[in-house]
Amino acid sequence: MNAVMLKLPPELRAIFGMDNLDMASVLGFFSFIFIFAQLCLAIQASNYGFGLLSKEESELTADFLLSKPVSRLAIFNSKLLAALISLAVTNVVLWLCSYAAVELFNGGRTYDRGTFVLLMISTFIFQLFFLGVGMLISLLVKRVRSVTPYALGLGFGMYVLSAFTGLFDDVALELITPFKHFDAAYIVASQAFDTRLVILNVAVTVISVSVSMWLYMRRDVPAVS
């Protein structure tokens, strides 16, 4: 596999994040698959983020929900908790399936379990970024008529930015996309997170959720006439 990879153009390997992967190692090969799993996880979390607070408005049931004797804060917290539980379930299934696959198909080769755990931990933090940013954007736009285009746009958009980062070696783009905040190749090679990028990722997530809460508390929801 390494010989095949070397025959590919360097630009193509950089776009798909394959320029620093050792395909002969267990975690190197796993990292190659992990990149595409991240893309699916990003779209799932983005879908939750965009639909969490905008669903009632698009279905014209928001005024009915907000007329009940429940505070907006309680509604926001309940919706956020539901999304977090759904993402947690997804991650548990991913972790179990990934561990089973690595154990069953490692061909007798050893791998660093601590690094594997870091890769698995990264998925939940990675998804929280898309959840928070999705919520924030859904409240900044006037109305989200369909969640899917927004979710696909955010997920694929960040992936494309990650590809351009690898292609042009642009540090500025690296700061924007969470695909580089939790780069599987870097984690496997360094056996650690890139601390500054993880802190940036968490900060953006916290700010996005906080601003989303503030906007939702003050959002003017039109009644259905």
Q: How far apart are CA 116 and CA 125, in angstroms?
A: 15
Confidence bin at 32 (pLDDT 50/70/90): confident
Q: Where are the domains of the chain?
A: 24-218
pLDDT reported for residue 66: 73
Instruction: Give the list of residues 6+ apart from residue 220 with CB closer than 8 angstroms, or none.
Output: none
What radius of gyration do the chain's Cα atoms show?
A: 20
Exposed/middle/buried for 153, CB within 10 Å: 0-12, 13-18, 19+? middle
Instruction: Give per-residue pLDDT as tens, 84-137.
Output: 999 999 999 999 999 999 999 988 889 999 999 999 999 999 999 999 999 999
Q: How far apart are CA 30 and CA 128, in angstroms?
A: 22
User: Is the pTM for the entire model greater than 0.75?
Assistant: yes
pLDDT reported for residue 16: 66
Q: Which token pair is 144?
A: 């989200």
